[in-house]
Amino acid sequence: MRKSWITKSLMALSMLGQEFAFAQSQGTQRPPQFVLLAFDGSYNNEVWQYSRDFSKHQKNQGVDSRFTYFINPVYFLTPDSKGNYQPPGQRLETRNGKTVAVKNRGSAIGWGDDNQDVSTRIDHMNDAYLEGHEIGSHAVGHFDAGYSQCAMNPFTRKCDRDANNKIVWKWDLRWSEADWKSEFEQFYRILDNVFSFNHLRPTAKQSRGLLFRQEIKGFRAPVLGISDGLWPNLPKFGIQYDTSKTNFENYWPQRNEFGTWNFPLAEILEPGGARRWISMDYNFCVRDSARVLSEEPETMNILKRDAHGQQVKANKARDCLNMVSSKQKTKAKNNMMALYRAYFDRNYYGNRAPLHIGHHFSQWMGGAYFETFFEFANEVCRKPEVRCVTYAELMSFMNSKSSSEIEAYKKGNFAKLPRPKSLTIARHWNLEVSMTSDRDSLKFSLDGRDASRRGLTQLTTVNGQVVSNSLETKLSEVRRVTPKGESADVRMAIYDFSGKEVATATYKVLNVGTKDEFVSEENIEERWTQGHLPEAHQGDLDFTRGH
């Protein structure tokens, strides 16, 4: 037994030595572990102060933690000056019971409060820039430039296709190249005229204007909504990198055909589960909110006091909850931290692909994600060979490397840091939930090699109400708990033997209880892994004001 252990150890050391020798022969040194910590939106001046103070505190301890802030210039406009922005594109609205496409107007996320609020925000951005942080573009009005919806075939319940097998679009509101050009022109126009638009006299501190104006190199699309018209515009406006896509955890950046660097958010593989989580707080919030409402439906009744001292509902939208119980906040924090740690460890001891973490200034889920962001930064930014930098700094590193070096990084052809024996990361499950329907029911099935695991249980909820613990849900149950004519979210959750959610799928039933009732066989959770969804800003001012 001892001889076998010694033999295996010697073989492992031999293989490690061969790998190191190969890396050295290729001349590839182990790259740093880059960690990119970024915020979308720029409204809340208290968060500007908090994030800057955090970074300064870290620096005093000898730890660099620099952030990238993707800003929206609507927060440089007030209700009095908002006419200086005219958004391009269209959005859907319901009028007289019908859904119609209308021209975008106003702002999807509100405005700055007043001139003092705008002036304070300018100071924060200038100070952040001087402190080593980066300011990037998040467009102007936070509209979805990538929205499209296919026409559903009533027989196949999938996207309809024409004679040439091309998708037939029910709605196609994706922005044209001209739309994007207008948005970028207005972005810079507001920056260049922020004082005159608001009849503001620059303070002594602002005598040089916006210090970061000529240093805007990066872009992240609102709601990660992109279209083909975006890419030719980026280099025309001096944008050298984009962060609007998603990709695998171990993806090393590449340039697109227009020469723009692709710095995507990650699709984090859930250890001991089957889901992929986008490394952005809002996408966590959508999935966590569905779980919370299935476990504690009373969450929608939580009250808070508004600015006038009146009691109002804390959660106006079900998609992403603002306030939850302390128990649910803890669960959300623990889940996000576990996923971020797994993401970090797999890359740190793997091919060292950059980590991308994207959050907002919002206090969703009772502040769970906001707190986790800074706790994670505090934990990893002090580790050996870790560099918590801005996207501009990552781009400088990438620009300094040859294509052969980048290819070696992608393949992990360098001497990797030995993984501690104490570090274990549970395997990502091969398990998928699918659904078919008929006129009477929705029938769920489990596929993949982990579908036969012992101890799996399931639970179906409709708009948060439990209706079944089997793999079949009767449409009569959906109609029982859903007002006639409205839509229902039917969610199937799979649990392991310990009671932990390991897989979920959610399907829409439209026009419930009417002659137009329709069951869509699209798992809408797949959209949750594609970007920051536009539903974040529907019908909830508390969402937008803290964005």
Query: In the prediction, which pLDDT does 529 show?
Result: 67
pLDDT tens-place string over residues 233-276: 999 999 999 999 999 999 999 999 999 999 999 999 999 999 99
- Both tokens of 22, joined, read 């190969």
For 166, left (φ over 0), alpha (ψ -120 to 50), or beta?
beta
What whole-number distance in Å separates Cα of residue 201 and Cα of residue 375? 39
- Both tokens of 132, joined, read 């080593």
What whole-number distance in Å separates Cα of residue 154 and Cα of residue 277? 31
Same domain, 161 and 92: yes
Question: Per the structure, how many domains does the chain have?
Answer: 2
Same domain, 244 and 338: yes
Burial class from Cβ neighbours inside 10 Å (0-12, 13-18, 19+) for residue 184 reads buried
Query: In the prediction, which pLDDT does 153 show?
Result: 81
Query: In the prediction, which pLDDT does 476 show?
Result: 96
Same domain, 382 and 474: no
Q: Which amino acid is at 240?
A: Q
Same domain, 441 and 417: no
Count helices and strands (H / E) in the chain. 14, 26
Query: In the prediction, which pLDDT does 24 show?
Result: 45
pLDDT tens-place string over residues 371-390: 999 999 999 999 999 999 99
Paired residues of 276 in beta bridges: 269
Residue ranges in the chain whose pLDDT is less than 50: 1-10, 12-25, 532-546
Helices (DSSP H) in 254-313: which residue ranges? 281-295
Query: In the prediction, which pLDDT does 547 show?
Result: 59
Query: In the prediction, which pLDDT does 536 show?
Result: 42
Q: What is the DSSP string of 71-100?
A: E-GGGG--TTTGGG----SEEEEEETTEEE
Same domain, 166 and 234: yes
Structural domain of 451: 432-516
Eight-class DSSP state of 166:
P
Strands annotated E in 270-354:
276-278, 303-305, 311-313
Task: Specify the CATH number for the domain of residue 537.
Answer: 3.20.110
Q: Please tell me the pTM assigned to this model.
A: 0.91
What residues contact residue 12 under an 8 Å CB cut-off, 6+ apart?
A: none
For strands 265-269 and 246-248, give the pairing: parallel
What residues contact residue 221 under an 8 Å CB cut-off, 6+ apart?
A: 138, 139, 145, 146, 230, 242, 244
Q: Which amino acid is at 216?
A: I
Task: Specify the CATH number for the domain of residue 440.
Answer: 2.60.40.10
